[in-house]
Amino acid sequence: MENLTLCLTILITGFVVVFSVLIMLILIIKIYGAIVSRALASAESRKEEKRRAELEAKLENNRARAEKADALQAQNLKSSESSDTGAQSEISREVVAVIAAAVASTYGEGKAKITGIKRSKAPNSRPAWGMAGVFENTKPF
Amino acid sequence: MEILNGFVDSVVGLFNSSGLCVLTWQNYVMIGISIILLYLAIKKQYEPLLLLPIAFGMLLVNLYPPIMAAPTDGSNGGLFYYLYQGVKLGIYPPLIFLGIGAMTDFGPLIANPKSFILGAAAQIGIFITFIGAILLGFDPKAAGSIGIIGGADGPTAIFVTSILKPEFLGPIAVAAYSYMALVPIIQPPIMKALTTKKERSVVMKQLRPVSKLEKIMFPVIVVILVAIFLPDAAPLVGMLMLGNLFKESGVVDRICKAAQNELMNIVTIFLGVTVGATATGEVFLSLDTLKIIALGLAAFCVGTACGVLFGKLMYKLTGGKVNPLIGSAGVSAVPMAARVAQKVGQKENPGNFLLMHAMGPNVAGVIGSAVAAGVLISILK
């Protein structure tokens, strides 16, 4: 009888205390997580506003030069257009610039010419680079 | 003639003091067991960092029992007697926790705090095994020490046993570390039996990024809460969180590396050999040891099952967003239990990556088992 009482005491106390402490931790983490996220978000937005104001000032100065460069790039792209024009039109100019830089870095400047860019259709929903990263990170396990 | 007699007397004296005359049959059986454990550690790589020193300590003490002898008027005592004081006084387990804290990323747990529930659920095995041990005739202190094996946390098991029932330290440590090493064999059948194919295939949403500030605040908050409400768990949780604060603060890189490497390795050596050295033939070869090993396995299985069942509950409550397999990682055994959840999940869906999701309950299990240890110590000591 004494043992039964002790068993039930341990079982109930253990169950209640372990769950209570960990549930308390859940609540505290949720609360401080929300507070920290909000504080960081507001600090970030203030920083962002300041940065945007600075950028706008710079942008104004460079606009004329950028427009000129855009026109030149559009002309170059038009001349190197391939048959898959539908896929190319989806690719942004930034991506084209990155691919051009990668090609130039691999083959050497002026030694290769991009004639067309086509987006590959990956079988998985996860992007190929993302998939490769996840495999790399989980490989040791 | 006198020289010849002296020579014969010396040889007889050496023979009488050698192991051939001093050792009992139990010592020889233990030497055999220690060699099997060495084989498992080296060849099969079952938790070799701990199993190897434990097995060697076991081998050495059964070959030369005085290595563990206490000092007397005429002798200084054996080497392992002094090293063992770190276990007996409860020094090594918190130091191991310091190293674990310095290596652990609590980010997945902070990103998904609900994981704490799974970490708590897996501790139910500890308390159910306590009842089983009482029913098998163990006294409450021994039952508490046996039940804690279900936490699947070696240092916690040693810490609790050294306070409640030091004479069971050998069998309990060997059982705890053996089952931790056997996690990949013990857990998958239970996980598969309790879940459906559909549940195992659930792909969980990517965790939110956790800010540095949150990671720094976490150890401070946990230690305040646990030490206030459960002071008996403070040495373990306190050192775990100190190690984690070293890591997350980023300002004590040297200390953090020392805790992760040099300190952790030195303490692991001392802890392993001295715990192994408690397993002498007379203590280890008894019916109680067999009962402890059986109850330890039961504790482990019940803990895993409770974690998975709570995972299923969360699966239902969240409308199928939680994969119940991550519940099995609620038993501590970091990071082995999380790896098992990842592997079982990936068998159903090769594109499913549960590892980071399982790390949440896994590290919550470390905190949960320390809290459960605090409960057992405060009631039974």
Report d(CA B381, CA B371) in Å as an integer.
15
A29 and B226 within 8 Å at the Cβ level: the answer is no
Establish if A53 belongs to a structural domain. yes
Q: What is the CATH number of the domain that holds B250?
A: 1.20.1530
Residues of chain A with C-beta less than 8 angstroms from the C-beta of B225: 21, 24-25, 28
Report d(CA A12, CA A14) in Å as an integer.
5
- pLDDT of B24 above 60: yes
B123 and A126 within 8 Å at the Cβ level: the answer is no
Establish if B165 belongs to a structural domain. yes
Please name the residue of chain B whose CA is at the shortest distance from the CA of residue A12: B127
Establish if A110 belongs to a structural domain. no
- pLDDT of B255 above 90: yes
Which residue is it, tokens 């209640």?
Answer: A16
- pLDDT of A110 above 90: no
Region B277-284: mean pLDDT is 87
A7 and B364 within 8 Å at the Cβ level: the answer is no
Residue B206, chain A, CB below 8 Å: the answer is: no
Closest CA to B234 of B242, B244, B226: B226
Range in A78-87, B88-97, B104-113 with the lowest mean pLDDT: A78-87
Q: Best interface-test mutation with B: which of A22, A36, A126 has the largest number of B CBs within 10 A?
A: A22
Percent of chain B with pLDDT over 70: 100
Residues of chain A with C-beta less than 8 angstroms from the C-beta of B183: none
Q: Is the pTM of this model over 0.80?
A: no
Closest CA to B83 of B107, B55, B103, B57: B57
- Residue that wins the pLDDT comparison between A130 and A48: A48
Using an 8 Å Cβ cutoff, are B123 and B368 in contact? Answer: yes
Shortest distance, CA B31 to any CA of chain A (angstroms): 34
Shortest distance, CA B223 to any CA of chain A (angstroms): 11
Owning domain of residue B306: 22-63+76-380
- pLDDT of A77 above 70: no
Kindly state the tokens that stand for B110. 């902070």
When pLDDT is cut at 50, 70 and 90, the band that residue A123 belongs to is low
Closest CA to B301 of B154, B193, B380, B373: B193
- pLDDT of A78 above 70: no
Establish if A109 belongs to a structural domain. no
B353 and A138 within 8 Å at the Cβ level: the answer is yes
Establish if B69 belongs to a structural domain. no
Q: Kindly report, residue by residue over B363-373, the tens digit of the pLDDT.
A: 999 999 999 99
Region B286-313: mean pLDDT is 92
Range in A90-94, B62-66, B351-355 with the lowest mean pLDDT: A90-94
Using an 8 Å Cβ cutoff, are B31 and B41 in contact? Answer: no
Report d(CA B260, CA B297) in Å as an integer.
30
Run of H or E including A18: helix A2-79
Region B314-335: mean pLDDT is 91
When pLDDT is cut at 50, 70 and 90, the band that residue A125 belongs to is low
Establish if A98 belongs to a structural domain. no
Establish if B10 belongs to a structural domain. no
Mean pLDDT for chain B overall: 90
Owning domain of residue A66: 10-77
When pLDDT is cut at 50, 70 and 90, the band that residue A139 belongs to is low
Residues of chain A with C-beta less than 8 angstroms from the C-beta of B120: 18-19, 22-23
Establish if A117 belongs to a structural domain. no
Q: Kindly report, residue by residue over A1-12, the tens digit of the pLDDT.
A: 677 888 888 889
Kindly state the tokens that stand for B234. 């403070």
SS3 of residue B63 by DSSP: helix
B116 and A26 within 8 Å at the Cβ level: the answer is yes
- Residue that wins the pLDDT comparison between A113 and B99: B99
Question: What is the pLDDT at residue B157?
Answer: 92
Establish if B115 belongs to a structural domain. yes
When CB atoms are compared, the residue of A9, A26, A138 closest to B342 is: A138
Establish if A72 belongs to a structural domain. yes
B113 and A36 within 8 Å at the Cβ level: the answer is no
Total tally of structural domains belonging to chain B = 1
B221 and A17 within 8 Å at the Cβ level: the answer is no
Establish if A49 belongs to a structural domain. yes
Region B77-91: mean pLDDT is 91
Report d(CA B300, CA B313) in Å as an integer.
20
Which residue is it, tokens 């100190």?
Answer: B242
Shortest distance, CA A110 to any CA of chain B (angstroms): 41
Other C-beta atoms lying within 10 Å of the C-beta of residue A125: 9
Q: What residues have CB less than 8 Å from A86, skipping those under 6 apart? A: none
Q: What residues have CB less than 8 Å from B327, skipping those under 6 apart? A: B118, B121, B122, B306, B307, B308, B309, B310, B311, B312, B314, B361
When pLDDT is cut at 50, 70 and 90, the band that residue A83 belongs to is very low
Backbone phi, psi, residue B275, to 5°: -65, -40
Report d(CA B175, CA B297) in Å as an integer.
8
ipTM given for this complex: 0.80
Which residue is it, tokens 């482990």?
Answer: B300
A33 and B110 within 8 Å at the Cβ level: the answer is yes
Percent of chain B with pLDDT over 90: 62
Establish if B6 belongs to a structural domain. no
Classify residue B24 by burial, with Cβ atoms within 10 Å: 0-12, 13-18, 19+: middle
Question: Between helices B140-147 and A2-79, what is the axis angle to 10°?
Answer: 10
Q: Is A116 left (phi over 0), alpha (psi -120 to 50) or beta?
A: beta
Question: Between helices B169-181 and B264-277, what is the axis angle to 10°?
Answer: 120
Range in A77-91, A115-129, B1-15, B361-375 with the lowest mean pLDDT: A77-91
Total tally of structural domains belonging to chain A = 1
Residue B82, chain A, CB below 8 Å: the answer is: no
- pLDDT of A68 above 90: no
Residue B126, chain A, CB below 8 Å: the answer is: yes
Q: Kindly report, residue by residue over B147-201, the tens digit of the pLDDT.
A: 999 888 888 999 999 999 988 988 898 888 878 878 888 999 999 999 999 999 9
Q: Kindly report, residue by residue over B57-76, the tens digit of the pLDDT.
A: 999 999 999 899 999 888 88
B375 and A7 within 8 Å at the Cβ level: the answer is no
Residues of chain B with C-beta less than 8 angstroms from the C-beta of A28: 221, 225
B120 and A11 within 8 Å at the Cβ level: the answer is no
Using an 8 Å Cβ cutoff, are B153 and B332 in contact? Answer: yes
Report d(CA B125, CA B140) in Å as an integer.
16
Q: Is the peptide bond before B335 cis (omega within 30 degrees of 0)?
A: yes
Handedness of CA A67, A68, A73, A79 (dihedral sign): positive
Q: How many CB pairs under 8 A join A and B?
A: 105
Identify the DSSP state of B149. Answer: G
When pLDDT is cut at 50, 70 and 90, the band that residue B230 belongs to is confident
Region B309-325: mean pLDDT is 94
B371 and A17 within 8 Å at the Cβ level: the answer is yes
